[in-house]
Amino acid sequence: MSKLDEFLAGERHDDVALFLTHEYLDSQGKLPNLGEEVENGYVLVVPGDDGRRAFAAGTGMDAMEFSRTAMAEKGHIDRELGGGECPDHDSDENHQAEFIFSFSEEQNEEVGGLYARGDVVHAYAHCACGANYSDKWVIGEETETGVQPGESEPAEADE
Ligand SMILES: [Zn+2]
């Protein structure tokens, strides 16, 4: 099982996952190509503090600040963190997700809602057009929770 598989299965709550496109990684040139190759780029799975440092070095942004900004918009993010669907995709621009920051949280019945259903993956994406957006889903319910492809609201909002 790869680190990314373990992360996506909720076995690496202390790690963060960073997705970066090949182009973005090359243009920044500050991050080693240590990640796992996915369809459109690389995913690095690293301990939280290292990940936040790598994120800042690679993007010039603070990971937490970026997450807060991205939380304001919802959009589908690939369940394997290889890309996303920009909420502004109707405009005539490049809408490839350039980077994604993700972490997981252990099931928490006290918080309720999504968090009571299982471990949750949070994902925050930055689009080439400048938009930031976020998604989150329950591990094991990837197609029943969070924003589904072609949708703009989380599936559980209808329940
Ligand atoms: Zn976009």
How confident is the prediction for the chain on average, in pLDDT? 91
Statement: residue 33 has pLDDT above 60: no
Q: What's the pLDDT score for residue 67?
A: 96
pTM above 0.95, yes or no: no
CA distances from 2 to 5, 7, 21, 36, 124 (A): 5, 9, 19, 8, 21
Contact status, residue 92 vs residue 57, Cβ threshold 8 Å = no
What is the CA(3)–ligand 1 centre distance, in A? 28
Provide, rounded to the nearest whole percent, the portion of the chain with pLDDT above 90. 72
Q: What's the pLDDT score for residue 37?
A: 82
Q: What is the DSSP string of 99-130?
A: EEEEEEE---TTT-THHHHS-EEEEEEEETTS
Contact status, residue 150 vs residue 85, Cβ threshold 8 Å = yes
Q: 30: domain range?
A: 3-158
What is the CA(151)–ligand 1 centre distance, in A? 15
> For the chain, what is the domain count?
1
- Cα(15)–Cα(23) distance, rounded to whole angstroms? 24
Statement: residue 27 has pLDDT above 90: no
At residue 54, the 3 state secondary structure works out as: helix
Q: What's the pLDDT score for residue 19?
A: 93
What is the CA(57)–ligand 1 centre distance, in A? 22
- What DSSP element (H or E) covers 40? none
pLDDT tens digits along 38-72: 888 889 999 999 899 988 988 888 999 999 999 99
Which amino acid appears at position 145 of this protein?
Answer: T
What is the CA(25)–ligand 1 centre distance, in A? 18
Q: With bands split at pLDDT 50, 70 and 90, how would you rate the model's confidence at 90?
A: confident
Q: With bands split at pLDDT 50, 70 and 90, how would you rate the model's confidence at 32?
A: low
First-residue to last-residue Cα distance in the chain:
34
